[in-house]
Every structure is written in C-alpha cells, then in structure tokens.
Chains A and B, each alone.
Chain A
Amino acid sequence: MFVINCPYCGEREQSEFKAGGEAHIVRPKQPTELSDDEWAEYLFMRKNIKGIQYERWNHAHGCRKWFNMVRDTSNDEIKAVYKMGEKPPTI
C-alpha cells in the first residue's frame, strides 16, 4: 500500500485515494468535428506501460482534489506528484 504525498494535504495512506487512469488526455474542445476514429482515440485508447507512467489520482476521502502522479509501475515508486494544470516534470 502506497503512501501518497497529496499536493494539498501531504502524506496519506493509499486507501484515502482513488486512481483515475492515464493523465494528460485532454477532452477535445470540438468533439462533433471529430471522425469516429479520432473520437475513439480519445475515448478508449490508454497506455499501460511497464515503467514510468503519468497518472491521475483523486484524494477521494480527503480534500477531494484531483492531481497528477508520476509512478514507475514496475516497482510502484512514486517519482513525483503535481497539481492539475501544472507542467508535468520530466523523469
């Protein structure tokens, strides 16, 4: 079980958080102008990397804030956490 450093609250147990999948997938501004394939790309396609992955997490049983995390999925090491809207760090 991880200890996650919520950018708003500090270190908390993983059980307070909810994972929200891959980060930095932006909802298209004009969905109606997209082809089926382009929309499917946004809707369904997600990476599942063994290694460094950028993820969304939510402090669901805490401040309820969403934030981003960089995690090495091969050993669960959390490399960085940062607020929504902040530039992702390069790892």
Chain B
Amino acid sequence: MSKSLRVKTSKFIDETTRVSFKFNGSNYYGYKGDTLASALIANGIHLVGRSFKYHRPRGIMTAGSEEPNAIVQLNNNSARSEPNVRATEVEIYDGLEASSQNCWPSVNFDIGGINNFLSPLLPAGFYYKTFMWPASFWEKYEYFIRKSAGLGKSPTESDPDIYDHKYIHCDVLVIGGGISGIIAAKTAAKNGLDTLLIDEKPNLGGSTIFQNSDHHKINNQTSSSWLEKEISEIESLENLQVKTRTSAAAFHGYNFVLARENLTDHLSLEDRKNKVRQRLLKIRAKKVITATGSLERPMIFNNNDRPGILLSSAVKKYVDFYGVACGTSNVLFTNNDSAYETALSLFKKGIQIKAIIDIRENATSKIIDEIESHGIKIYKSYTIVDTEGYKKINKISIMQLSKDGQSVVGSKINLDCDCLGVSGGWTPAVHLFTQSGGKLKFREEDHVFVPNTYPSKQISIGSCNGEFELDEILKLVPLQIKNFLDVEKTDYENLSVEVSKNLSKRNIWLLPSDKVIGKTKPFVDFQNDATAKDIKLALREGFRSIEHVKRYTTTGMGTDQGKLGNMHALGIIAETAGVKMGELGTTTFRPPYTPLSFGTIVGRNVGEYFDIFRRTPMHDWHVKNNAEFENVGQWKRAWYYPINGENMHQAVQRESKAARESAGILDASTLGKIDIQGTDASEFLNRVYTNAWSKLEIGKCRYGLMLHEDGMVYDDGVTTRLDENHYIMTTTTGGAANVMGKLEDYLQTEWPELDVYLTSVTDHYATISVCGPNSKKIVSKVIPDLDFSDESFPHMSFKNSKIGNIKCRVMRISFTGEHSYEINIQASFGKSVWEKCMEAGKEFNITPYGTETMHLLRAEKGFIIVGQDTDATMTPIDLQMDWIVSKKKYDFIGKRSLYRSDTIREDRKQLVGLLTDDPQIVLEEGAQIVEDVNKKPIEMLGHVTSSYYSPNLNKSIALGVVRGGKNMMGKKLFIPMENKIISVTVADPVFLDKENKRLHA
C-alpha cells in the first residue's frame, strides 16, 4: 500500500534511508526527512485521533504547527512519554513509538464515539448547565468528568532528559526563515549587523522552497531554485547565525523573545544519549523582524472534519515536499486561487483531481485557465453541503450557491473522493506580534487582521503582514527592511517576478447547507469540537464579548489555541450579532505559540537546583549529627537533633530541658547581620527603631523593634555598639534582606544628609549561641583569656576577644531567658569553634538544639517571633510591648501611626498568654478563639499563634492574639475544635522566670 502513495521522488526526503517506527502498536516505515504525518499518509493512514468531546474520528489536517487533530502520545509508558505532540511536527526516527489519544479501546473502535450520537444532548455549556444540581453531587460527577476529559496522558516518571537555558543578545532577530525572513536576515548580516535567524522547521525556505511551478519565477528561475541559491550563500555570512527546529514561543516587551531550540528530538534514541534535548533561548534583540508567514484557513461547512479532509496547502506540501499523495481521487474546495496551485502540483505528478469546487462565481486568472486547459472539472459558485465516510471521507455532496451566498439552490451532485483539500484563504500569523503588545487592524477588503502599531523596534514582513503574493512580497519587503534597519544597501531591489494568481476571494464565514443548521456539524474548532451551531447558541443565550463566547464554547482553547478556526469564529459572531469585525476585535493570543514541555521551562533548575539554598558554616556538622532541617527563607536551619529514634516531640522536650538545666548550643549564623558605620549612626538607629539609642554606651547591646511607617511591627533584633560610630545590627533570619533594603531606602531617599554606611555581613560571621546555667563555664574554657565575671561582662554587653589568633566578638545576650553567650567569628572558623564548644561542654552534657527548641524556650519567656506571633497588623502596643516605644523621641519610623484613630482602638487584637484548663492539652497553632460557643453566628476573637508543651513547666503553654485581650486577664475563653471544645484562661505571656533571675544565674 505504501509505495502507491509515494509519488515522484522528493529531494527533501532521503529514500535511501528507511526509518521504521510504530504507530498504535503496528510497525511501519518511512524515510529520513518524513514527519510522522507524512509517513502515516504514505502508509495510507489518515485516522490518527479522536476529537475531544464527541470522539469523532479525526485525521491529519495540516502539515505544520497549527495542526489541531493529529496529536499523538509519543513513547507511552516510558519516562520520555510526551502527550499532545503534533504528528505534523514529529520527525520520524528509528524506534519512534506513537499512539493515538483520547480513544478507548482503540482509535478504530472508540467507546466514547457514542458521544457523537449523543451530540444533540451535548451543546455548548453542557457541563456547566448539567452538573450544577444538586451541588453536593459535584464530587460524584467530577470523577467521571475528569476521567473523560483531557487528551494525552502525563508521564508518571520524572523526565530523564537534560534541558538548557541560554541568553542571546543580537542586533537583529529574524523569526521565520521563509523567503521574506531570508531576505531580511541576509540584508541585515550583509550590512554588518549581528543577526540571528530562527525557524521552527528543520529546513529554511518556508513554502517557497518547494514552489517549483513555472508560474512563480524570480529573475527567470523558478522561485524555489532562486531561493535555494540564496540559502546556500548563508553559510559564508559571518555575522548571520541560523537556528532551525527553533520555535519562537513568546514575544515580550522590549524585544525579549523566548524560543525553544529542539536539538535531539529528530535523532534516534541511541544518538540522543548525553545530549541536551531542548534549549530555551532567551533572546534580547535590538530589532526584531517577524516573518512568521500565514496559515491557510479551512472552510466551515457541514461535516468538514472527516479524516481525509486537509488544508489545500497541506495536500500541496505533502506531494511537493514529502513526495506523498494524500489520496488517489482528490477534490479541492476553495474560495481563492491557492487551491489551483495545489491542483497543478497534483496534476504534474499524475495524481487524479476529480474536481475543484470554487464558491466564486466568475474568478479568472492565468492559473485557472491552465487548470481548465488540462480538462479538470471546475464547479463555480458551488459549495459542499455534506460529506460522508466515517473513518475516512468517501463522498461529498455539492450544490449551487444562491446569489447572496446564504443558501443553496438546484439539485445535489454527489462526487466520490478519498481526499478533500480545502482553502479558505490565508490568515497572517500575527500571534507573536500581538503577544509583544502590537495592535491589529482589520482589512475589510480581504477579511484579515494585519499589524497596525508596533510597541517596540520591530516590524512584520511578508505574509504575516498581509502580503500574500510573491510579487507583492518581493516588491515591498526589501524596501521595508532597508528603512527599518536604516541601511544603505540590499541585494533584493528590482527583482523581476512572475506570478499567475489573482487575489480575488469570496468570503463566506459559514457556508450554507440544504439542511437547517441544527441538523449540521460545521466545525469551527476542530480540537475542541466547537461548531458554528455552538457559537450561535452562545449568542442566543446572551453572550456578547468575544472572550466570553470563547470560554463558553471553548473555541480556540485547545492545545492549538485555535490557529485554524479563530477567524471563522470571529466572523460568525460578527455576522450573527451584526457588528463589524474590526470593532469586535480578536481574543488574546497568549504565549507559548506552540506548547513547551516543563523540562524546557525549568532548564537545569531541577532537583536540588530548583531553588538556591543557603547553608551555615556548621551545616556539615549538623548533617553528621543527624539533624532534621527546616527551610527558613532560603536557609537550611537545623530543626532538631533526634537521637535513638526519637520523634520531633521527644527530641524537642529533651533539648529544651537540657538547655535550662545545664547547657544548650544553637547555630544562630542565619540571623541577619548589618554593619552600620558613620558619624550619624546613632541618629539613624534612633529614627529606625522605636526605642532610644543615643545614650547606649560603647560595648553595650540593646534589643530593638522596627516598625513600618504604618506602625506595624516589621522586624526585631539586638544591636550592639562596637564603637563611637560603629554598630552591628542583627535582624530576623527571614527579614534580613528586606530590612537591609528598607534601611538603604530611607538613607538614600529620605535622609541622604545622614553620614551612615550599611554593609550586609550575614555570611561573613558564624554565630554560636551557648545558653544555660553552665554556659559561662563552657565559654570560659573556649576563650580562657576573657574575663567572664558578671561585673566585667554583664548581661547585654559585648567584648572583643580572640580564640587562638582569630578575632571574635562575644555578646552576652539571650533569646531563651537563660544566662547565655553568643560567639561571632569569621565564617570559615565557625565549624571548628562549634566543635571546641562541644568539646568544652561535654562534661556539662552540652546539647545541640534546633529552631523548634529555640521557639519553645522563647515562648516560655513570652518573647515574640516576628512573623509568627505578629502579622502585618500588630503594633508594639498590641504586643503589650509599650515599654520599648520611646515617648521622648520626636520621631521614628511609624511613630505617627501609633495614635491614628484605628491603632488606638481598645478592641484591637492583642497578644496574650493562654493556659489550657487541662495542662496536658496542647493547642493547635492557628486555632480560632471564641468567647461564647453558643452565640450564633459564632464570633471569632482571635487565634493561637504559638503553642508548645513546656517540659520545664510541665504544662501546655500558648500565645495568641485576642480582640481586647489586654483587659481579659484571667478570663475563660474557648477554642472549638473538630471533636471537642477546649477551655483556656487568658494569662500573662511570660510563663517562666518573670523576674529574669535565670539571666544572671
């Protein structure tokens, strides 16, 4: 069978290299250069898939990336499985396995095909209308809908291929390597501009490269041989880079273009090994020339979707480029001259053309004359009213069109055929142009949207700009490029061009049938099974906006984004609603132009490289000592250190007890550290913290709270005065970068007169915090030269010292309420000093603790964690931290906001302690707090922000925010949970050591 459909040898196909592949489990072969689509057609296969909604048999319709029907699953049941691939773009290779989608048990016998007979019951919006009631049944419906929805199957294993990203900067980017693109790229390169030319196909030349008709001549050569010579010169042009198999996916503002370069998909599995599969190119071009060509339109008539119905241009490409006949008995159906070119190509290869149906009344041109002279029957002013053939077209019925084209007259003529080529004219491929923000205008005379205004330095040329004929293109394009690139010379002026087509076209968006529209199936969106009927229904139901009609009928919402049918949808809407196309506008074309796989989008940022993470200098020690980690911003922080199979609760209880009873050690290196210097440093701190800083002595530390200008707590931390004009500020781990940014903002924009310099030193120091009653003994062993006596080194003070020869800073500060010290040392010595502390602490059972224990210990003391006990609605007054807000300072960031009418309300949410009446019950963080469980509707007073079981107090403790909580001390409140109501008593948030005796113990 296959040989008979292979016609005269094509030079684009290497018939000496046979390639074998599998389709739906059977073995076939094609030749090197074939796409899956051309190889299947050569094997007589048109039925490739089933449609989305009605499961109608569908075949190959196009020869390019606009294909709506022939979408297949590649390499099913393997890690490289890929759904929704267009058979028209897949280059076959040895070992390729492809299968049909959306059918069960097989494409030839598909149970879902029953939907086709039920289709009168499945109008637009069927799912919306049907599955709404009763609402509680949705979960049951959903299961079945999800099962029957979706085309391909996602792979279940992770993608084993390698993907890459690459930045390219160039003077000129040319998108599309057809005749216009080649002229543009060569002109740019010859004028010394650094140029990149990309094309989605494996070869350059667009449709001209296989246009070998005598009717298209450039300088007295066939247009294809002229172009071939032009392409052969490209290699010698140094500053012209060409990337084929590279599809522009998105065109963003400022000439930023994303393109996918396909590197290995056409190679055999063996040849792909260790190669990058696809590369996402991030191209920034000074100028962009879009030469993306145009897409042929189908025509909208009854049963226009059967396998064997193709675009006329596709029939031509299959025969001229791939050397494959789509049928042995062909009919062409057209509203313009393009189909006659196809007829000529078929005729020259000796393939039967049964008839040409032309809806125009009296079209004349040189090419029509030639076709007539070959004795091919042309039915003028006729239209197709129906087609037959379930799995492949076998018959069409035609009737004469009425004068106005709105109905049919006369008697029906039936014609047998096995292939129907359809041409409804051409649509400029303006997708990329509009993505970039370009605005279109509607050209009334031939019903096309063409580029109108450009948002950046770019131009559309050739048929994507609405110039469809070769003579027009060659006359216009060289001049446009010269002007756009502002260059002196182009080699392409004054070419002599011969063409034989006439541009006349008769546009009828929806062709009439002898049946009423309700009894017909004129498909507009082939992939999503939206018919002209559905669009009319949507309009009847009151939808007017084109965007709404699109969503209601799903027109244009498939993987092909309606590349074929969108114009017809617009035309039918405009016609039915009685508005002008230009006023109706188009739906938005969104990137990507053709689907991108996730692998291409993420590139190398997979697995552990998905997001960067930061490690402290002691990280390896934590790993070695069995720590579990938690993510805090980008940091990996030790969370807890389980021993002997402890769970988190057990480990945290042990760590917390050890820290209070003897000694604990914490890696605090992740805290943000900002070095502040300058003669106005003290004044600066005065303005950014709520408390006073001018009188802080050198060598002393102070805790500070930072507010937003709206009075809400933003960050906190201890800042130490190292010298007269030198401070070191600590911030929360997660807030470090934002604090730095905010301080810089005020310094640069509000107070440029202040002499202050900020440097982030977070990564420069390792910070080791040793706490507990034995902490002093331990640090004295590690730094024996330093006087740790309380008189010389009291709480909230700092000393410079040395460990060996290495300088360090020691602060006596505490976040646990225990007597504790923080050693800051150059990061590279962090791990060895940590180990020294462990060694020195051995006799005191020094216990490493993680962030969870740190949180528990500070909660026992009622210390807040910004971001856990606060959100962006808590003032220091709400936190009952009035003591830290200076009354004397004239101004600081956020001060004025602390007495706005809203912030002084008594019934704001305020931070309080919560004690469960049953001390063994630990509350859930986030649980809601109420006063009266019987009141309807139930009134939420606030929620639990921190909650732990304290091993040092042997009871459950919690912090929470409660409306008016400040005045509720001792009051009973309730926390309703799923199965029980927990009663709690409002308490002082400081649960342990209210007198701070332990700090000095």
Contacts and interface: CB of A to CB of B under 8 A. Distances in A.
Interface stretch (B331-339, B870-878, B888-896): B888-896
Interface in B727-759: 741, 744-745, 748-750, 752
A43 B897 contact: yes
Contacts of B784: none
A84 interface: yes
Given A27-B750, A31-B895, A43-B897, A64 B254 contact: no
Interface string A1-26: 11100000000010000101000001
A85 B897 CA distance: 27
Contact of B749 (A13, A32, A77, A84): A84
Nearest to A4: B254
Contacts of B252: 1
Given A2-B254, A3-B284, A66 B745 contact: yes
Contact of A1 (B254, B749, B897, B900): B254
A79 B206 CA distance: 39
Given A20-B745, A36-B900, A40-B900, A1 B256 contact: yes
B44 to A, nearest CB: 49
Interface residues of B, number: 23
B748 A2 contact: no
Contacts of A40: 900
B253 interface: yes
Nearest to A23: B749
A1 B591 CA distance: 14
A34 B253 CA distance: 43
B373 interface: no
A34 B896 contact: yes
Interface string B889-930: 011000111001100000000000000000000000000000
A56 B746 CA distance: 12
B94 interface: no
Interface string B229-262: 0000000000000000000000011101000000
Contacts of B284: 3, 13
Contacts, number: 54
Interface string A25-62: 01100111010100110010000000000001010100
B746 to A, nearest CB: 8
A51 B149 CA distance: 44
Contacts of A77: 455
A30 to B, nearest CB: 8
B896 A2 contact: no
B110 interface: no
Contact of A43 (B256, B709, B745): B709
A85 B748 CA distance: 9
B254 A32 contact: no
A75 interface: yes
A85 B752 CA distance: 9
A48 B27 CA distance: 63
A84 to B, nearest CB: 5
Given A39-B896, A56-B749, A75 B437 contact: yes
B750 A65 contact: no
A43 B710 contact: yes
Contacts of B891: 30-32
Nearest to A64: B744
Contacts of B895: 31-32
A65 B744 CA distance: 8
6 shortest A-B CB distances, which residue pairs? A31-B896, A66-B748, A1-B256, A27-B750, A3-B254, A76-B253
10 contacts: A1-B252, A3-B254, A13-B284, A31-B895, A31-B896, A32-B895, A43-B709, A58-B744, A58-B745, A85-B752
Given A1-B253, A1-B256, A58-B745, 19 more contacts: A1-B252, A26-B750, A27-B709, A31-B896, A32-B891, A32-B896, A34-B896, A39-B897, A56-B749, A58-B741, A60-B741, A66-B745, A66-B748, A75-B455, A76-B254, A76-B437, A77-B455, A84-B752, A85-B752
Interface of B: 252-254, 256, 284, 437, 455, 709-710, 741, 744-745, 748-750, 752, 890-891, 895-897, 900-901
